[in-house]
Chain A
Amino acid sequence: MEPLKVYYLDDEIDLLEMFRDLFSGPGIEIRTFVDPALAIAEVWRSPPDLLILDYRLPNTTGDKIAQLLDPGLPKIMITGDLMVKTNSTFERVFHKPYSFSEMAEFLESARRRRLAG
């Protein structure tokens, strides 16, 4: 059984590290990116099952990156910005600080959906 492949782009290394420590496991493979360009290149080369984008990124936003990618690719956003609202590009928006159990549940349900799909 292939694990759920998750890519996460954020400019906060501490956050990326923490995310990996918290949620990687036998069913979930997490790759993290600090540089938007590298993340985009990697998505094009080898699309993940789920893309997690930070909203605010150096010189760009997660929103704009999402528009460059396959609309069919499941994406969620994690942001500390209060002004960012849910929109159709993203399945879900998590506001920092988010609940880890909610994130864990979401990842688990994504994994099940992929199995189901």
Chain B
Amino acid sequence: MQIAPLHPLEDERLLALESLRLLDTLPEQEFDEITGLASMICQTPIALISLVDRDRQWFKSKKGVAAEGTPRDLAFCAHAILRDEVLVVRDAKSDERFRDNPLVEGAPRVGFYAGLPLKDPRSGLPIGTLCVIDHKPRELTPEQLGALRALGNQVHRLLLLRSELNQKVEQRRRIEEDRQRQEFILEGAGLGSWDWWLDDNRVHFDRRWCEMLGLDHESTPQHLSTWDARVHPDDRNKAYEDIRAYLEGRSEIYENIHRLRHVNGDWVWILDRGRISERAADGRPIRFTGTHFDITAYKNRELISSEIQKMANIGGWELDLANDQLTWTEQTYQIHQIPPGTPIDRHQAISFYAPHEIGRLMSRLENSLGGAPLFETFEFIDAKGEKKWVEVSGEPVLGADGRVRRLRGTFQDVTQKIEAKQALESSRLKAAHAAKLASLGEMSAGVAHEINNPLAVIHGTIPLLRRFMSDDQAFQAKLDSVSRAVQRIAKIVNGLRKYSRSSDETDLKHHAVADIVREALVLTEGRSKRFATPVEVALDSEALTLCDALEIEQVVVNLINNGLDAVKDRDDRWVRIRLFNQDKELILHVSDSGPGVPPEIEGRLFEPFFTTKPVGDGVGLGLSICKGILDNHQATLTLKKDEPNTCFEVRFRLSSEAHGAT
């Protein structure tokens, strides 16, 4: 016998057979009727529909045999499927191919075989045969052969039906699989879904969509009204607006956050997303599908922080660079005095800043586009025309590509803070100014005297000059005395000129404190003379310190004048000034013959408006201003306690380029 070779497209053939899903299935009447007819028409005891599998033939339908199939090597059908036409073996015993075939020698003792190849309706590849078998050699009449072909066609039709059915089943299975997969994803992500037919507002809400709101899935009306009836009134308009914008193509995506009423009365925060899933032939959207995500937990946290922000008067803002869309929080709207939700663009937003601030704002925004955080205070005018101060912070939000996608930050009304600061600053300036005026007033009396004396000399000498015109020596002497008087006046005026400086800003330079003390002495000389109080001076250091000379001079004048005032009614009157270096510090002592400061007022010495002088004699700002000035110079002012007399000590930091003690 000969074993049939494999079909040239054997792998594909086996795949086609497999996909028909006929192997090892239960007998089916349609197939059995055909084998019944074949056996009857061809007058054979046996008729089969045999499928040639990889290693066997298996009988889908069998008439006249009990076996389920045979090994492929013995199968007549394995030969038959290699042909296009019917294979007829009239006498198996005398055929080379089958002579010693066990199926010929033993049961079922094949003497005659006629097999019509059956083809897979989709691929056209042979998968088996419809065959008739007799135990003895014989022939088929042309009518019988014709009938066999007709039956073969019938089997083909059955196979075609089967194949189509299989495809449908497969499709359904895939759809079901997809559905299950989607379900799985939605379930895992905690998403509910909705599927909205726009023409009649039928909406399919899935089980989780309903469960989010405590609704029973079975009894929930599958209609838009289910959703509509549960949306928070404050959120409804915005939700519809966002839907409309998306459906009309005005926005890329539909995304909206709104509240829906739970069956238990609570509000559930929903992140709603959707996209058009079907369009009519004319492009009009007809089906809109999306998901619901319960964000109540996040939202509550957000609300808490936004409540805190409200209390702190902090708003938020975000600028989406992709579409230039600016978003404000409610608080930001309130600071602007605009109804929350009013659409606002970047240009409108900038127009609220004071004109002189816009340049700075733009350049800071520009910087933050480059990645630099923004944190600035700006002058600002709200929609009602009220001037405010706002503190704006901002930082860039980067996209996955590392480019700046958005800018966002906080927006805070800091008007009160700034105004308080300005008031403080202005009262400080006023106090400093008052102190300056006060010390000027105190000095002016002494200064007037200093000027009046030389003035009197000049005044009196002029008529004398005429008289001494002829006496050259006397004339020269008079001129000298006028010149001395003029020089004295010039020196005093020069000392005063510094006080006329209009700027309130300090002018830091390296100065020898000894020089400053000398200048101060010119200004206090008048008073010390008037009070007949000698000022003894020992300047033992010419060291430099970084300071505003005028401010330090004010301090020294103040300390000397305080000393002069303190001792003016005493019999022993002196004021002593000592300047010396000690441990890398420059120390100035201003002491007077007074008995020191009583302990009960010691603590109040440096308070503003504290004074021991009679009303009208002093404003009481002296020491507090001195202390303020020295604080700014990182110098200290203290009352020295281990001295028998009143002694104020000032400690200056030495300049790095300090001179040594002289």
Residues of A within 8 A of B (CB): 12, 14-15, 17-19, 21-22, 55-61, 64, 79-83, 95-98, 100
Supply 29 A–B pairs (Cβ within 8 Å), ascending by A. A15-B456, A15-B460, A18-B456, A18-B461, A18-B481, A21-B460, A21-B464, A22-B464, A55-B530, A57-B532, A58-B529, A58-B532, A59-B532, A59-B534, A60-B532, A61-B532, A79-B449, A80-B448, A80-B449, A80-B450, A80-B451, A80-B456, A81-B448, A81-B449, A83-B445, A95-B452, A96-B455, A97-B459, A100-B460
The answer to whether A98 touches B456 (Cβ under 8 A) is yes
A17-B481, A60-B532 given as contacts; is B452 within 8 A of A100 (CB)? no
CA separation between A81 and B574, bound complex, in Å? 21
The answer to whether B532 touches A12 (Cβ under 8 A) is no
Residues of B within 8 A of A (CB): 445, 448-457, 459-461, 463-464, 467, 481, 484-485, 529-530, 532, 534
Q: A-B pairs with the 6 shortest C-beta distances?
A: A80-B452, A18-B460, A96-B456, A80-B449, A96-B452, A97-B459
Note all chain A residues with C-beta closer than 8 A to B453. Answer: 12, 15, 80, 96
Q: Which of A22, A56, A79, A82: most chain B CB closer than 10 A? A: A56
CA separation between A96 and B534, bound complex, in Å? 23
Q: Give, as a whole number of angstroms, the nearest-CB distance from A91 to chain B.
A: 20
- Which residue of A18, A58, A81 is within 8 Å of B464 (Cβ)? A18
A21-B464, A22-B464 given as contacts; is B459 within 8 A of A82 (CB)? no
CA separation between A17 and B448, bound complex, in Å? 22
The total of Cβ contacts below 8 Å across the A-B interface reads 72
The answer to whether A14 touches B481 (Cβ under 8 A) is yes
Note all chain B residues with C-beta closer than 8 A to A12. Answer: 453, 456-457
Q: Give, as a whole number of angstroms, the nearest-CB distance from B436 to chain A.
A: 20
CA separation between A54 and B296, bound complex, in Å? 93
A22-B464, A98-B456 given as contacts; is B449 within 8 A of A82 (CB)? yes
Closest to B461 in A: A18
Closest to A22 in B: B460
CA separation between A64 and B449, bound complex, in Å? 19
CA separation between A52 and B623, bound complex, in Å? 40
Q: Give, as a whole number of angstroms, the nearest-CB distance from B88 to chain A.
A: 154
CA separation between A81 and B459, bound complex, in Å? 17
CA separation between A104 and B530, bound complex, in Å? 27
Q: Which of A15, A18, A100: most chain B CB closer than 10 A? A: A18
The answer to whether B452 touches A14 (Cβ under 8 A) is no
The answer to whether B530 touches A56 (Cβ under 8 A) is yes
CA separation between A92 and B454, bound complex, in Å? 22
Q: Which of A21, A59, A98: most chain B CB closer than 10 A? A: A21
CA separation between A100 and B460, bound complex, in Å? 8
CA separation between A96 and B460, bound complex, in Å? 10
A15-B460, A22-B464, A82-B445 given as contacts; is B455 within 8 A of A56 (CB)? no
Closest to B482 in A: A14
Note all chain A residues with C-beta closer than 8 A to B461. Answer: 14, 18
CA separation between A57 and B453, bound complex, in Å? 12
Q: Which of A14, A15, A60, A83: most chain B CB closer than 10 A? A: A14
- Which residue of B445, B460, B532 is within 8 Å of A19 (Cβ)? B460
Q: Give, as a whole number of angstroms, the nearest-CB distance from B638 to chain A.
A: 31
What would 4 more interface pairs be, CB under 8 Å, given A12-B457, A83-B530? A14-B485, A18-B457, A56-B532, A58-B532
Q: Give, as a whole number of angstroms, the nearest-CB distance from B496 to chain A.
A: 16
Closest to A23 in B: B460
CA separation between A112 and B648, bound complex, in Å? 57
Note all chain B residues with C-beta closer than 8 A to A97. Answer: 452, 455-456, 459-460
Closest to A11 in B: B529
- Which residue of A17, A22, A56 is within 8 Å of B463 (Cβ)? A22
Note all chain B residues with C-beta closer than 8 A to A100. Answer: 460, 463
CA separation between A55 and B463, bound complex, in Å? 25
Note all chain A residues with C-beta closer than 8 A to B448. Answer: 80-82
CA separation between A107 and B418, bound complex, in Å? 68
CA separation between A17 and B456, bound complex, in Å? 12
CA separation between A80 and B456, bound complex, in Å? 9
Note all chain A residues with C-beta closer than 8 A to B530. Answer: 55-56, 61, 81, 83
Note all chain B residues with C-beta closer than 8 A to A83. Answer: 445, 530
CA separation between A60 and B532, bound complex, in Å? 5
Q: Give, as a whole number of angstroms, the nearest-CB distance from A59 to chain B.
A: 5
Note all chain B residues with C-beta closer than 8 A to A95. Answer: 452
Closest to A57 in B: B532
Q: Give, as a whole number of angstroms, the nearest-CB distance from B526 to chain A.
A: 8
CA separation between A97 and B459, bound complex, in Å? 7
Q: Give, as a whole number of angstroms, the nearest-CB distance from A39 to chain B.
A: 15
CA separation between A96 and B449, bound complex, in Å? 8
Closest to B484 in A: A14
CA separation between A56 and B481, bound complex, in Å? 20
Q: Give, as a whole number of angstroms, the nearest-CB distance from B184 to chain A.
A: 102
Closest to A79 in B: B449
Note all chain B residues with C-beta closer than 8 A to A21. Answer: 460, 464, 467
CA separation between A9 and B119, bound complex, in Å? 152
CA separation between A31 and B104, bound complex, in Å? 178
Note all chain B residues with C-beta closer than 8 A to A14. Answer: 454, 457, 461, 481, 484-485
Closest to B464 in A: A21
CA separation between A111 and B443, bound complex, in Å? 39
Q: Give, as a whole number of angstroms, the nearest-CB distance from B318 to chain A.
A: 70
CA separation between A83 and B452, bound complex, in Å? 13
Q: Which of A57, A64, A96: most chain B CB closer than 10 A? A: A96
Note all chain A residues with C-beta closer than 8 A to B450. Answer: 80
CA separation between A74 and B534, bound complex, in Å? 30
Note all chain B residues with C-beta closer than 8 A to A82. Answer: 445, 448-449
Note all chain B residues with C-beta closer than 8 A to A17. Answer: 481
Note all chain A residues with C-beta closer than 8 A to B452. Answer: 80, 95-97
Q: Give, as a whole number of angstroms, the nearest-CB distance from B114 to chain A.
A: 153
CA separation between A17 and B484, bound complex, in Å? 14
Note all chain A residues with C-beta closer than 8 A to B467. Answer: 21
CA separation between A100 and B450, bound complex, in Å? 20
Note all chain B residues with C-beta closer than 8 A to A61. Answer: 530, 532
